[in-house]
Amino acid sequence: MTNNSFFYRDSINLDISFRCALECLRCQRTTHFTSKGKKVPGKDLSLNDFQKIINHFNHLNFCGQYSDPVHHPKFLEMLKMTYDKGKKVVVHNASSTKPKNWYIKAFKANPNAKWVFGIDGLPEESHKYRVNQDGIKLFNIMIESKKHLNSKPIWQYIIFSYNENNIEQAKKIADENQVMFMTLQSARWKDKNDSLIPKNKNLSYTPK
C-alpha cells in the first residue's frame, strides 16, 4: 500500500472507547494495564468526531483492542447514524453484560450491520479465556440477533488448549442454529510454554 492509497482508503477499524467488562487473559488491556493495577487510558469517541468519520469512510469495523464497542454510552446512536448513511458495518462483541433488550435495540438500530460474537470454546467454557464473560448468555444473544439482522451472525472461536478438542462439536452447534462459524489462531502468548497454547501446533502461531 502506498502512502497515497492509505489516505484514500475506504475502510477503517475503530476502537471507540476505553471501556470493557472483560479481563481476557492475553488482551493488551489486561497485560499492560489492569493486571498491573493501572487504569486503562483513553476516552469515548464523541458523536461529533464520529460524524466526521462516517462522512469519509464507507466501511466501518468496530473491533476494539482495548474496549468492546457495546460499552460506548452512545453506541446505539452510532449504529443509527451508520444506518441512515448506508454505511457497511461490522461489530465485534465479546462482553456480555448488556441486557437482551439493549441488544435488540442495537440490532434494530442498524439491521444491515454484521455482528461477530467472540465466544472462544463451547459457551459454557468460554470464560476460561474471556474472564467475566457469560458465554451461554452471549450465545443466546447471538441466536436472538437472527430475528433482527439481515445477515447471519458469526461465531468467532479463538483456538486455545482448553477448547481445541471441541471445534467439531462447536461447528455442529453452529450449523444446527444456522449461524456462521469462524476459527482464529492466536499468537498472543507469554512464551513458548504458555498453558493456553493448543497441543496441536497446527492450530496456533507458536513462538519458537
pLDDT at 1: 47
- At residue 113, does pLDDT exceed 60? yes
SS (H, E, C) 31-69: HHHHHHCCCCCCCCCCHHHHHHHHHHCCEEEECCCCCCH
**Total residue count of the chain as it appears in this document:** 208
CA distances from 104 to 50, 57, 92, 147 (A): 22, 26, 16, 9
Residues 29-53 have a mean pLDDT of 95
- Between 39-48, 61-70, 155-164, 196-205, the lowest mean confidence (pLDDT) is in 196-205
The pLDDT tens digits of the residues spanning 159-175 come to 999 999 999 999 999 99
Average pLDDT of the residues of the chain: 94
- Between 13-17, 55-59, 198-202, the lowest mean confidence (pLDDT) is in 198-202
Q: pTM of whole model > 0.75?
A: yes
Q: Domain 11-203 belongs to what topology?
A: TIM Barrel (3.20.20)
The pLDDT tens digits of the residues spanning 59-98 come to 999 999 999 999 999 999 999 999 999 999 999 999 999 9
Give the start-to-end residue ranges of the domains of the chain.
11-203
6 confidence band (pLDDT: 50, 70, 90): low
Residues 17-21 have a mean pLDDT of 96
Cα torsion 13, 15, 21, 26 to 10°: value is 70
- At residue 18, does pLDDT exceed 90? yes
203 confidence band (pLDDT: 50, 70, 90): confident
**DSSP labels, the chain:** --HHHHHT-SEEEE---S--S---TT-HIIIIIGGGTPPPP--PPPHHHHHHHHHH-SEEEE--SS--GGGSTTHHHHHHHHHHTT-EEEEEE----S-HHHHHHHHHH-TT-EEEEE--SSTTTGGGTSTT--HHHHHHHHHHHTTT-SS--EEEEE--TTTGGGHHHHHHHHHHTT-EEEEE-----SSTT-TTS-SSGGGS----
205 confidence band (pLDDT: 50, 70, 90): confident
**DSSP labels, 169-189:** HHHHHHHHTT-EEEEE-----
3 confidence band (pLDDT: 50, 70, 90): low
